[in-house]
């Protein structure tokens, strides 16, 4: 389906699916562990070593970069607020009790936003066990952001 909506996002979705398959199948535990730990650390080091030296203060800290950071912070805050409001709206229209915190976990900061939401829910009420529901919304937010990124790339490529 992603290939139809945003073909440029297909490799990203494919890698997410491949990583999930490696972790969940239980056959390639060593490879899954290496991908989760050692490989991600090596890639992070290589990115830091190759990209880091090119990022001088004069090139990086300019008004355009600061504006991008500000827009990202604003988008993060608005996404959280809109998620909570949409959760409350779902509560009204469905007629069932839905924890509005689930809407705030739709941010694609996987898995941190889901864990923070689950912790906040348990601080309010010890009988709140919403981690699985929050992870579902969190994963959906991750997939949606990959598809949106692919759509933007397709738009900018023309």
pLDDT digits (tens, 9 = 90+) for 91-123: 899 988 888 889 899 888 888 899 999 999 999
- Spatial distance between the Cα atoms of 36 and 43, rounded to a whole number of angstroms: 11
pLDDT of residue 157: 83
pLDDT score for 97? 85
pLDDT at site 3: 82
Structure confidence by residue, pLDDT tens digits, 57-98: 888 888 998 999 999 999 999 999 999 999 899 889 998 888
Distance between CA 149 and CA 158 in Å, rounded?
Answer: 15
pLDDT at 31: 92
Q: How confident is the model at residue 134 (pLDDT cuts 50, 70, 90)?
A: very high
pLDDT band at 24 (very low <50, low <70, confident <90, very high): very high
Check residue 123 and give its pLDDT. 93
**Mean pLDDT of all residues belonging to the chain:** 89
What's the pLDDT at 154? 85
């Amino acid at each position: 389906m992603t290939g139809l909506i945003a073909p440029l996002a297909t490799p990203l979705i494919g890698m997410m699916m491949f990583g999930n398959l490696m972790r969940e199948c239980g056959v390639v535990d060593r490879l899954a562990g290496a991908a989760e730990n050692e490989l991600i650390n090596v890639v992070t080091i290589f990115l830091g070593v190759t990209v880091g030296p090119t990022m001088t203060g004069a090139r990086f800290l300019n008004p355009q970069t600061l504006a991008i950071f500000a827009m990202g912070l604003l988008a993060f805050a608005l996404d959280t607020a809109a998620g909570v409001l949409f959760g409350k709206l779902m509560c009204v229209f469905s007629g069932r009790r839905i924890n509005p915190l689930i809407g705030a976990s739709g941010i694609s900061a996987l898995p941190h936003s889901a864990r923070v939401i689950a912790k906040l829910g348990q601080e309010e009420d010890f009988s709140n066990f919403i981690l699985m529901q929050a992870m579902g919304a969190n994963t959906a937010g991750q997939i949606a952001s990959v598809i949106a990124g692919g759509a933007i790339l397709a738009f900018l490529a023309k």
